[in-house]
Structure 1
Amino acid sequence: MPRLTLVVPAYNVQSYLRECLDSVLDQDFTDFEVIAVDDCSPDDSGSIMDEYAARDSRVQALHLRENVGLGRARNAGLAQATGDYVLFLDSDDTLTPGALSAIASRLAESGDPDILIYDYARTYWNGRVLRNTRSELLKQTGAAAFPLTDRPELLDLLQIVWNKAYRRDFLTEHGFQFPPGYYEDAPWTFSSLITAERISVLDRICVHYRQRREGGNILRTVSRKHFDIFDQYERVFGYLDAHPELDHWRPRLYRKMLDHYLTILEKPGRLPRDAGAEFAQRAAEDLRNRRPAGFTRPSGTRGYKYALLARGSYPALAGIKKIARARNTAVVQGRKRVTQAKRTAMGVFYQSQLRLPLDENLALFSAYWSRGYACNPAAIDAELAVRAPHIRRVWAVKADEVSRVPKGVEVVRVGSREYWTALARAKYLVNNVNFADTLVKREGQIHLQTHHGTPLKSMGLDQRKYPASTNMDFEALLERCDRWDFSLSSNRFSTTIWERVYPCSYESLETGYPRNDVLINSDAAAVVSARQQLGLDDGTTAFLYMPTHREYEVDFAPRLDLAALADELGPGTTLLVRGHYFYKPSSRLSELQAAGRVVDVSAHPEVEQLYLAADCLITDYSSAMFDYANLDRPIVIYADDWETYSAVRGTYFDLLEEPPGAVATSQQELTTLLNSDEWRSPRSDKLRAEFRRRFCEFDDGRAAERVVRRVFLGELAPVPVVPLEDRTPAPSPTQVRRLATQV
């Protein structure tokens, strides 16, 4: 039997669950079990639990058949617990290093109390950490274990269960269970504390309480569900009624109820605007019916608020709030001045357009900071033309890039009056990066963020850990991300990262990447056409070399001697090079380029056509590997500076340990590898198969259709994803040649 059981319920927390479980399993104290409860979560939380249970015998994954809510999910975990003590940990929070050792030691020191209370700190997206403001209540003074009557002020701590260790026999003896509802912690916390005969405290931060920027805490959600508080306090006082020996706690709990009701009324972002008066009347009824004999209101503003609430005088309470707001007039006016300055900077014309109605049939597209027509937005544009031709499609493009846009695409030059009109009035905004800060997101506008790759390198808020790679203003970044309504993903790996590093209130669409549809849907004729456009001979082996950019390098440093590589590979190969015009000119390189042995495809408008033409991709850390893997063709990783790149930029997995194919760390290794069959060996095929299972999850050729149906047509019925094993990607050049000989 373990010393500790940790119950971890989960619902829609796939982006945080691994960090939570890792914080438990990495503890130096090991005598514990974890009951991870999947509350019928619609995301990948249940699969993550199974993954951890499969590799660590201390983890048990419990899957509920229906969503029952946080309280009853905890009950399900509690029923499976076998430890001496039970701890509850919310699945987006984490334990601090050494927390379980400190908890176990304190339990032993205090002679196995009924309840141990430990401290916590709030953690914020910007790295700020704030300790519990009432931490002074947890000072370890006096007896190691004591009754609550010795320290009744502990009832003034936040009503939470995840900062306590409960002796399981104590819970069983008294039959404590979590009720359903929004505020399920209140009756559990109050009832257990006043019942415990021996309580101990630990003056140590053991839990990091994540303050999710996107409002993951249900108590910050505007809803009538906050009326649930009345049912919960009915349970609290019902417990007192059933235990007359605890009646001396009634005055203190009555005041806690008062304070709690006032908090809900006064906190912005809880009750709907039209529900305040009704809530106040319900609260007044409870206060009148439950007022204990001899209760005396405190003096001052607090006591005045008690009196108003007892009368149900919501208008008077609201008046007090207005007075408090007036004290902050200077701050409010300062913010207005800043806002006005921003509006002035946007231009009078843009402001005039913002006052006009939205054009319900206008979509504004942009890609790669308005550099042209490309990527996921371009694929969505093409699908939209077929499925919703009534929607006008306009592209925002920089003036010096307009010539790169295909004929027939409607363009507005960035900064022109037409651009500001489209930005202000388009119903749909589609981009694979963010629009400029000047964009005012209007009510009714739909902002679709498509992204432009599966992340190997750190992104968003994770870049704070790697300051050498960025000078980003993260607050400004998240303000831009707050405009998103939808965020596309091609695999669950990406979804969990996007939701964590861009913590905003958008809907994740696991559709696959529309730009990759062509890799699944193209036939042999498309492959032949792609190669002919590049001038590739039928028999040549084409290696597509696509190195990524390194933000931390001021000047580009070529990683390969292309002339030497082409010479070593011989006349039967062609190097397609997509990158900077970074290689210093040399007579030998010029000869190879003239002969078609090295082809600069950096300016090619459609990278997907390069994928179709190539026999193999050579890359370092580019997201191209995730897209190209959909073709199920060989991939070679050339990682000559992996240690530097991963340390400076940060990566989400070790590419050398989990590559999509053969790996070389020097030009000599790469040359040897390409001159042998290692680049297309059975071992490389196996690595690629594992890579595809992980990262090509949703790219089945119907991604653009899914996006258009959901975002532009409002259809909620999902388009089923074709299983990986049932997909037939575009044939490789070798397969095309075989088909040609069979005709």
Structure 2
Amino acid sequence: MKAVSIVIPVYNTELFLEECLDSVLEQETKLDIEVICINDESPDNSLKILHRYQRTFPNVLKVIDQPNTGGATAINRGILAARGDFILILDSDDYLLPDSLDSLYDRAIVTDAKIVVGKMLKLTNNVFSSVEETDWISGSAVLSTPKQRCQIFISKMYHGKLMRRDFLVSENIFMKDGQIYADGPFVAKAYTSTSSIATLNKDVVVWRKRESSNNLSITDRKKEARTLLDHMESLSMSWQNTASANESLYLEKLLEFDSRRPVWHLFPFWLERDFSFKQLSRFYEATADYYSMVRHTQVKNLPRAEGFIVRSLFRRNRYEFYLFCYLYYCRIRYRQFRARTRAGLRKYSPKKLLGKLAPIGLKRAYRKIKPNYAGHDIFRSYLSSTERDDNLVVFESFFGKSYSGNPKYIHQELARHYPEFRSVWVYNKQPLDILNCEKQVRRGSDEYFQALAKSKYWVNNIQFPVHEKADDTVYIQTWHGTPLKKLGWDIEVSGPEAGAREKAYRESRNWDYLLSQNSYSTEIFRRCFKFGGKILEQGYPINDIWSSPELDRIKQRVKDSLGIPASKRVVLYAPTWRDNNPLGNWIYKADDVFDYEAWSRNAPSDVVLLLKFHHLVLPPRLNGYEQRIMSVSDYDDTQELLAIADCLITDYSSIFFDYLNSDRPIIYYAYDLAEYQDSTRDMYVSMDQLPGPVVTSFSELLDRVDQLEEVATGFQDLRDEFAAKFCPNDDGSAANRILGEIFKASNAIEHAH
């Protein structure tokens, strides 16, 4: 007997299905679970995805394929097929939060409840928010009285609810086949069939509201006539199921929301300026039976504007209903007009006009006097009150996300040869695993700004959020690669990088030193950053690893930590980021162009694939291919991964310049080359001149991986030529030379090397 059966109806959700399944299968649970997926003749690739997961999890995941009869029928079949003590229903475009199953199950066992109600989060256009239907849950409790239980009638969604299977079956609690809004009557009947209900004060599920016009959630298709009729039937059934309990408190709470729900079908029309009395007449007739049935009940707590419309429907007064609808429509139009007017005024405000018309030099001077970055007041107060510490160095790498890059290797060199200096490292969310570090501070905290104000030296490979520094502070900008893609003022197409040029320009005014790997980079950096300061063309400290006497030991340590046998060859896939799949502010989705199943089936058996995505990209889930493929995006030091790689697969990333030091084969998987160059960024070096094959399809990529020796020998001359041009200073002593020059120039110590 299973502990929990997760029932997932599936229809046309291939974009979200993997995330849904992963959220269940990756739960760190002690429970014996089963996952029952019912494919409702989905026209997309959902069934293919289900079968792939079933092959990976044959003892956990069961697939039922049925003709298209609707989600209600699919859920009923899942409940009947389930073998678990408890049922949890999960839509295939939603997903569970970590530890949800154990939390719900433990709550059910401790309270002996037939139903446990957890909280939900709503995800709309990549923005999370709380859900009104479960906001009332403020503590984990057993709802032992009608006054307590009436609150649950606010939410008649099955999301986040764990129910005993034998209770559902014995009480004949199923959904009406073919009904769209079938969850309302189903949950209302469950509520009124038991007094054993408990709550869990924890978010357990994310409910996705799809608002794309091409992929609306079913219950968001409010403009469709069939949807309204189905909803009215559902509301009537919910009322009848609740009324059967003969408890007035239940009915009052039910109608706080249900009496308003039909009116919400009118709002999409009105928001699009579509208002007609013919439309209102059809609505009035369609809702007549429902409001006639429930009009004797006093409805409380209605919002004022909606309340006038709802009460006119209860009173069955057609013309009063028309009047209040028209007034509400005018209210919507007024608010739309007000919003447009305010937007227009903001667009042409004196401040905006000055910003558009003022010379760039004047705007830069103004920002120097009055900066507008977050935390500037805190930082300025520390600048004016904190004494500089000549032996303190602040390090930050990739916005504090990792202990890596040039800052890491400068830090290690500093700890070895300049022990009198103390280090403060910046972290983003979690402290980093670092030796020889006096302190770690969280980016954006008060301690962070205080450390910046106090330290004599700053070391970063991207940027600090402050736009100023003390005159005696020395800022070493290490950068993070020889550029292949165009940078800064060289970018000719719009996008996030082009939009950030002015910010990068302002940041570069603080730089005292900028590191460069070669003369090619130096020329580009001068131009693209408009930087006239000191450029240290000494090579990159990250590439000191290639000449380190400890290289073999480092490689063995990395392989051991990842569990890679010595007999296996390693291929590293490390693509750059693309700005056409944003998930939030400077976080992007990985393109779905790498066929993990095909790789697992066709790549050489002695090859392990490592996936290292850009720090701005949310790594995809592997979905059961871990035996052949490993996700290493959370491995801090990319340089150590390059050291163990027998081949590098990349695209337009500058990472290949560093990998030239290995003299191993490179493959460029440029599946979107034309689009990338036209709409994202062009290149400084033509792709057909690179020291490795450029492939545009996954089948070509597999062929090249199968011929690594030929790739290595065929491009040997080009790799040698590129290494001579781009890596002449990568001789193992870059960090030593850089620190010596900086400290000598600043008179910090007498360089003794």
Tell me the TM-score normalised to structure 1 length: 0.49
Tell me the TM-score normalised to structure 2 length: 0.48
